[in-house]
Amino acid sequence: MVDLTKVEQRREEAIRRAVLSGDWTKVDNLLNQPYENLCRKDRSYGLCSLDSSSIAKGSLLDTIADDSDALSLVIKKEEIAIINDAIERLLSDRDKKILFGVVFENKSFSHLAKEVRLSDKTVKRHYERIIEILRKELKNL
């Protein structure tokens, strides 16, 4: 069985009480609470997906350039190889998990914190440090 934190234990108890009383709206709210908390933390950290939009600018995905000529594709491929090499040389396995979790899997710091067994603020600091390390290494790219 999974060990629950005190907050999770209290939420489970509140769900049981709401089920017994037949208050299904409260059950629904309590079941959605962890997800809502993660979304709120993501907003506070300023995370967004590429397909989020604002009224003035439209989708962020629309602003990504299209590299359709062969030379641009070759250059992009070389840049990716250099970036991958820097990631392999400079980052620990945990740092790679954090970087790939945030960048490619769109995981929140809170979600990653559970996976790597650190606090969400520590994961955020690790991510910021990782970005700074890569920025310094790849500055002349």
The CATH fold assigned to 65-141 is Arc Repressor Mutant, subunit A (1.10.10)
Please, which residues bridge with residue 54 across strands?
58
- The whole-number average pLDDT for the span 81-109 is 89
| CA distances for 58 relative to 42, 48, 51, 66, 72, angstroms | 20, 13, 9, 17, 26
Report the mean per-residue pLDDT for the chain.
81
Long-range contacts of 52-57 (CB under 8 A, 24+ apart): none
Contacts of 42 (CB under 8 A, 6+ apart): 108, 109, 110
**Residue 54 DSSP symbol:** E
pLDDT of 32 reads 87
pLDDT of 122 reads 92
pLDDT of 66 reads 55
Place 125 in a pLDDT band, splitting at 50, 70 and 90. Answer: very high
Q: Where are the domains of the chain?
A: 1-46, 65-141
pLDDT of 57 reads 47
pLDDT of 129 reads 92
pLDDT at 76 over 60: yes
Q: Is 22 helix (H, G, I), strand (E, B) or coil?
A: coil
Contacts of 126 (CB under 8 A, 6+ apart): 94, 95, 98, 118
Return the H-helix or E-strand segment holding 58: strand 58-59
pLDDT of 95 reads 92
> What pTM value is reported for the model?
0.49
- HSE-CB for 76 with a 13 A CA cutoff: 9
pLDDT of 120 reads 86
pLDDT tens profile 23-57: 999 988 888 888 888 878 877 777 665 555 444 44
- Angle formed by the axes of helices 6-21 and 24-45, nearest 10°: 150
